[in-house]
Amino acid sequence: MQYKLEIQSLTKRFVEKTLFEDLNLTVTGPAILWAPSGWGKTTLLRILMGLEVPTSGTVSGVGRVGAVFQEDRLCPQLNAVQNVELVLPEGKEQYKEQIEMDFLRFGLDRAALALPARKLSGGQKRRAALLRALWAESDTLLLDEPFTGMDPATMKKAAALLKERCGEKVVLLATHDREAIEELGWQVIELG
Amino acid sequence: MKKTKKRLLYGAAVVFWLVVWQLAAMAIGQEVFLVSPIQALGTLLELLPQPEFWQRIGFSAGRILLGFLLGAVSSVVLAVAAERWAWVEALLSPVMQLVKATPVASFIILALVWVSGSSLSILISFFMVLPVLYGAVRTGIESADGQLLEMARVFRLPLPCRVKAIWLPAVLPAFRQGCSVALGICWKSGVAAEVIGLPDGSIGDALYRAKITLSTGELFAWTFVIIVLSAAFEKLFLALLDKAVARAAGEEW
């Protein structure tokens, strides 16, 4: 079933500031969300994740969400593979090898995979957060600056993996990275 | 190397105080007021082969630890309930304050009205442990990472996964700290309850008998036994808990 994410007349206002007003948006495939800093991209993604309540308006068609948050949000005591396994349904053991292969392909060596997440570098944590989102069972992917802390070569690998895994899935990826936008070649939704 | 030096220093300090004790006992020269460490050790060695000595240990340790375990389980259940429902927290708050502030002697005398002497140490250990571990578990729950909890919500992690990956790593260190304190308290208060309730065959009963017969050597020997038992159970329990913490920390995920 093809999901269609619909945002209707969405407004988010804080006491002293209005982030966005009367926002209408329909997303049917992978798209990049581009907006100036402070526009409220993270807040919009949080609303779509169900973590924030909008001041007014509605969102529909989100379904199950796979997410990369602004922060990595990995369980610090678990290693990268265990963090991915955490979001998998029962029988996670059967995917362990595949997940490890993904990490190896993504530039994390066996030594890094043995470390708890708290000992990984910023870029390694970001890769783990991204793979967790890709492995989770989801109808919509919401990715907030997923390339933060990655060098250009790793970003290219991440972009390639995203294109390969997402297909025509509904994806909203917030980024300021022009290179990443070009690399992905997805529809760009410019806001603000 | 540093550890060995620290241990040597600690050993030297213990020897120093034993010498001070021996000299003080020799200076006083009256066994009733102060026995020497050598005399206390002699009394302990006399007690060791007696079956009654071990029966008393079994009697008291069983009851005090039962009180501790009941207190530990109840405190976890109540702390989780208080975290989940504000009315439970409001309801428990004055009770915990009251239990914490009430002198243990008042508690023991009051409890004697409700239960028999032989069950007294269970009840007293339970009440002494409850507020300490309740507070520790609450602190642990409150320290759980809010961002990880949001992540769990977004990815719809099932409850057992949330407990294992987020709640346990947050709660176990605080719970461990609480157990270390609570185990010491429950031995002290449990034996105090036995001294007042005088259940036959308990350590408290032995302490009381030593007091009325002016057997200061026995008093010291039993006190030493209580200290050793308290330390041994604390070490054993914390070792088991550490294994659980390591497991929750991902080593055996």
Token code pair at residue B56: 């008393």
Using the predicted structure, report yes or no on whether residue B20 has a pLDDT greater than 90: yes
Contact B121, B67 (CB under 8 A): yes
Residues facing A23 on adjacent strands:
A10
In this predicted structure, which of A80-94, A153-167, B16-30 has the lowest mean pLDDT? A80-94
Give domain limits for chain B.
1-30, 32-248
**B153–A50 CB contact, under 8 Å:** yes
Contacts of B248 in chain A (CB under 8 A): 77
Asked if the C-beta of B160 comes within 8 angstroms of chain A's C-beta atoms, the answer is no
Q: Which residue has the tokens 């990715």?
A: A143
Token code pair at residue A89: 């349904």
Mean pLDDT of chain B: 91
Contacts of B150 in chain A (CB under 8 A): 51, 69, 73
**B157–A86 CB contact, under 8 Å:** yes
Q: For B165, which of A65, A66, A75 is closest by C-beta distance?
A: A75
Q: For B250, which of A69, A82, A87 is closest by C-beta distance?
A: A82
Tell me which DSSP letter residue B115 carries.
S
ipTM of the complex: 0.93
CATH architecture type of domain A5-190: 3-Layer(aba) Sandwich (3.40)
Q: Check residue A82 and give its pLDDT.
A: 93
**pLDDT tens per residue, range B178-191:** 999 999 999 999 99
pTM: 0.83
Segment B152-169 shows an average pLDDT of 93
Asked if the C-beta of B153 comes within 8 angstroms of chain A's C-beta atoms, the answer is yes
Using the predicted structure, report yes or no on whether residue B250 has a pLDDT greater than 60: no
Q: If pLDDT is split at 50, 70 and 90, which confidence band does B249 have?
A: low
Name the more confident of B252 and B106. B106
Q: For A78, which of B153, B155, B250 is closest by C-beta distance?
A: B250
Rounded CA Rg of chain A: 17
**pLDDT tens per residue, range B63-95:** 999 999 999 999 999 999 999 999 999 999 999
Segment B5-19 shows an average pLDDT of 93
Using the predicted structure, report yes or no on whether residue B238 has a pLDDT greater than 80: yes
Q: Check residue B1 and give its pLDDT.
A: 65
**A87–B155 CB contact, under 8 Å:** yes
Give domain limits for chain A.
5-190
Q: If pLDDT is split at 50, 70 and 90, which confidence band does B251 have?
A: low
In terms of phi and psi (left: phi > 0; alpha: psi -120 to 50; beta: otherwise), the region of A52 is beta
Q: Check residue A43 and give its pLDDT.
A: 94
Instruction: Name the CATH topology of B32-248.
Output: MetI-like fold (1.10.3720)
